Structure 1
Amino acid sequence: MHVDTARELKAALSLRLSQAPPGAVVASRAPGSWSGVALGLAPVGPDQVHLAVRLLAEADAQLVLDGLDDAARGEVDVRVIGPVRPQRSPTPEQLQQRTRPLVPGLSVAHPAVTAGTLGGFVRRPGSDGLLVLSNNHVLADSDGATEGDPVLQPGPADGGTAADRVGTLTAFQRFVATGNLVDAAVAALDDDVQADPTGYPGGALRAEVLTADAVDPDEEVEKVGRTTGHTTGRITAVEVDGVGVQYDEDVVHTFDDQIEIEGASGSFSDGGDSGSVIWRSSDRAPLGLLFAGSTEGGSNGGGVTFANPLATVLRLLQVTFVAG
């Protein structure tokens, strides 16, 4: 169906799901208030998409499909992806080393967090100092931190201690129960800490960040992360609303307008890759900030990864991307 028609259908289904009576949505594994259903757009051709339906529980598929006529049912891409969680939980085999100067992809974290990824570097307008960019759940302990708290490289799970401090938490976008747009935070580097913003695999990224509406499905993309290193994949859906991310056993925050990615071979990301900057392979234009993923639902068996549009991250944190 045409992309505009799909957006209208997505909006109508979202409204119907929000009005469903208690118990209508099965999602037996969904804690909190999340319905267990996320809706987006999956490309099939020029200006043509299928409605992407991502489910926590297979039993909820019929509830969504019952609202569609026969023609629309043929235009739906339904997948059960299981629980979606932040990309963390490192293992001993994934430990990373203390590295100076700092480069994108390194292990980094708040002292109360295990380890995530240093995605890249940004700058506040009017300030010369560099700031580290990563996730709220990596640098700010999922809203549990206070501005001015230390940031370590490597993260504690990789042996980081107070002696490995590289900067201080400067700003983070706080979570709300529903309708989050980003999981993002920045930390100002200490004066004696050097950094190389060009240190991505293959060299510097483009300075121009893709706007959210310029991020197209089926684009080939790359990232460098603390756990899986340099991986490639492709965008499989954009404008995905209602992504429920399980931050712990009882807390789920939902995110709207997200980017879905699959790995070219296996998984695009794994625990500890949260905070990675994602770029378009064709021209090295940065476009996303990786923050969560699943182990189920990918067409190649590697699950799916979710990313915030990087342009949205920069706008909300009021910073600019530093490419070199």
Structure 2
Amino acid sequence: MLIDSARELKARLTARLAEGFPLVTASDLGGRLWTRPAIGLAPVSPGRARLAIRVAAEADARVLLSGLEDAVRAEVDVRVTGPILPQPARSPAQLQRRTRPLVPGLSVAHPAVSAGTLGGFVRLGGRLAVLSNNHVLAAGGAGTVGDAVLQPGPADGGTPADRVATLAAAVRLTDRANRVDAAAATVDDGVDADPGDVPGGPLGATVPDGVDLEPDEEVEKVGRTTGHTRGRITAVEVDGVAVQYDDGVHLFDDQIEIEGLSGAFSAGGDSGSVIWRSSDRAPLALLFAGSTRGGSTGAGLTFANPLSTVLAALGAEWVAS
């Protein structure tokens, strides 16, 4: 269907689901998984899209589909993801050693966090800063401005002697719909940093204002755990993405969904990676969560915040090589 029609259908179905699934804040869940579907737009061809519906369990999919009219069912892409989780470190992998100068893709973290990924560099208050997630640099809100940031992260052997940056800004995760999971830390004096060619190297240093709905748009990232991977955008403007953090479930609206071209696009420890467009290397999004199920290969789906939204929320400017 046409994109405007898909957006209209998304709004109608979202309103309908809200009647059957009253909004529940993370503090009300008591650790239980959120089961309300996430809804976005899946590109089909230029100017056309299907409705992307993501559910946590098979039972949710059956209930949802049984309540849809045949004409509507023909225009939806329903996938079962299982739980969607932030991507903290889980196992040793590439990019986990102590490295100077700092470059995108390295292991980095708050001292109270295992490890995540240094996504790229921004300018914050006139100073160079590393960009990653709140749950990587600010311990999901437990950290405070002025805290240390280590490279590598503690899970990869980082100690206080490996301090490279100071937490300067973090967007708080709320019990309502969030837009970003983001934080930045200013690089400490005497620590060398090199933005490098990716993400957002000399071929494409401008951050697009939003992400166009193009079918099979190919993207790439470098992450602490899986290194360099390639994928494609499978849905945009996804609302109601439920992510299970240590303190409960947090919801996210207007997210980007990505699947790997061969296998998983991301894994635990890749949180904070900046995703760029393959065609021109333009930096598009900040990776923050993923599932182990779903996608055409069954290897899971990755979710990311639009990078333009992240920069606006932090009051930061992207720094290219």
Cα 1:91/1:100, change in 2 over 3 Å? same
Unaligned runs of 5+ in 1: 23-28
In the TM superposition, what is the alpha-carbon distance from 1:201 to its structure 2 partner? 7.7
Instruction: Output the CA distance in 2 between the equivalents of 1:95 and 1:230.
Output: 10
Instruction: Output the CA distance in 2 between the equivalents of 1:42 and 1:139.
Output: 31
In the TM superposition, what is the alpha-carbon distance from 1:91 to its structure 2 partner? 1.3
Match of 1:175 in 2: 173
Match of 2:3 in 1: 3
Could you tell which deviates more after superposition, 224-233 or 192-201?
A: 192-201
1:313 matches 2:282: no
Instruction: Output the CA distance in 2 between the equivalents of 1:36 and 1:262.
Output: 21
- Aligned alpha-carbon RMSD (Å): 2.0
Match of 1:13 in 2: 13
Cα 1:83/1:175, change in 2 over 3 Å? same
Match of 1:237 in 2: 235
Identity of aligned residues (%): 67
Instruction: Output the CA distance in 1 between the equivalents of 2:203 and 2:296.
Output: 29
TM-score (norm 1): 0.92
Match of 1:81 in 2: 81
What is the letter of the counterpart of residue 172 of structure 1? A
What is the letter of the counterpart of residue 165 of structure 1? R
In the TM superposition, what is the alpha-carbon distance from 1:113 to its structure 2 partner? 0.1
In the TM superposition, what is the alpha-carbon distance from 1:62 to its structure 2 partner? 3.5
Match of 1:206 in 2: 204
Maintained 8 Å contact 2:122/2:130:
yes
Match of 1:195 in 2: 193
Unaligned runs of 5+ in 2: 23-28
Q: Which stretches of structure 1, 4 residues or more, deviate above 4 A after TM superposition?
A: 29-33, 201-205
Maintained 8 Å contact 1:178/1:254:
yes
Match of 2:25 in 1: none
Instruction: Output the CA distance in 1 between the equivalents of 2:31 and 2:141.
Output: 19
Cα deviation, 1:201-231, whole Å, max 9, x if unaligned, reads 8954622101114364421000000000010
Could you tell which deviates more after superposition, 210-219 or 176-185?
A: 210-219
Cα 1:120/1:280, change in 2 over 3 Å? same
In the TM superposition, what is the alpha-carbon distance from 1:290 to its structure 2 partner? 0.3
TM-score (norm 2): 0.93
Q: How does 1:1-324 map onto structure 2 within 5 Å? A: 1-20=1-20, 31-32=31-32, 34-92=34-92, 96-124=96-124, 127=126, 129-200=127-198, 204=202, 206-214=204-212, 216-248=214-246, 251-324=248-321
Match of 1:26 in 2: none
Cα 1:215/1:152, change in 2 over 3 Å? farther
In the TM superposition, what is the alpha-carbon distance from 1:199 to its structure 2 partner? 4.6
